[in-house]
């Protein structure tokens, strides 16, 4: 619960964060109350610690499946034979492309803002079309305007906020 609450806080979801925070504290108070009764018993303390660790693991797994928020993906390519931005656009992604110079010569840098749920699909596409590219992913807060790939279909959507 704490993991999902923290991610929701980072993403600006106030009401959801507050509700999960209240639920988290309620569970924590009940759990700690139970552990304090059995504090001299090392098995009880170990059980509490194992439960807490399991909760963190399960929370991270749930958050990974929810895949909330947005990501900025940068694809830096040295390939002169492949128009990475063009292929990504053909697949419905909104791409901003820059020309640059890297250590070994000319590069193209493509910026793509996507919903986090689309990240795996985009990475697979980039690996297929430009396997030697350098790819970075950053968390993105509240993008406004532009064209963004829609996760559920191949059409693009205008972001509105």
118/88 Cα distance (integer angstroms): 13
pLDDT tens sequence across 125-156:
999 999 999 999 998 877 777 776 654 333 34
106/48 Cα distance (integer angstroms): 56
For 78, phi then psi, to 5°, come to -100, -5
pLDDT tens sequence across 69-126:
889 999 999 988 889 999 999 999 999 999 999 998 999 999 999 988 889 999 999 9
4/150 Cα distance (integer angstroms): 23
Answer for the pair 123, 135: CB distance below 8 angstroms, yes or no: yes
Position with higher pLDDT, 158 vs 138: 138
pTM: 0.64
The pLDDT of residue 148: 67
Quickly list DSSP for 45-73.
HHHHHHHHHHHHHHHHHHHHHH--SEEEE
């Amino acid at each position: 619960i704490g993991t999902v609450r923290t991610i929701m806080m980072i993403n600006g979801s106030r009401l959801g964060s507050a509700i999960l925070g209240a639920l988290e504290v309620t569970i924590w108070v009940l759990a700690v109350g139970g552990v304090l009764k059995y504090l001299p018993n090392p098995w009880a303390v170990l059980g509490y610690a194992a439960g807490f660790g399991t909760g963190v693991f399960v929370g991270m797994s749930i958050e990974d499946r929810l895949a909330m928020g947005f990501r900025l993906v940068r694809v830096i390519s040295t390939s002169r034979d492949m128009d990475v931005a063009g292929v990504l656009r053909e697949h419905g992604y909104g791409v901003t492309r820059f020309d640059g110079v890297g250590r070994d010569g000319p590069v193209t840098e493509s910026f793509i803002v996507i919903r986090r749920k689309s990240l795996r699909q985009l990475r697979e596409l980039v690996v297929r079309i430009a396997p030697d590219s350098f790819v970075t992913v950053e968390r993105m807060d509240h993008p406004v305007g532009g064209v963004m790939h829609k996760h559920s279909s191949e059409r693009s959507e205008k972001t509105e906020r």
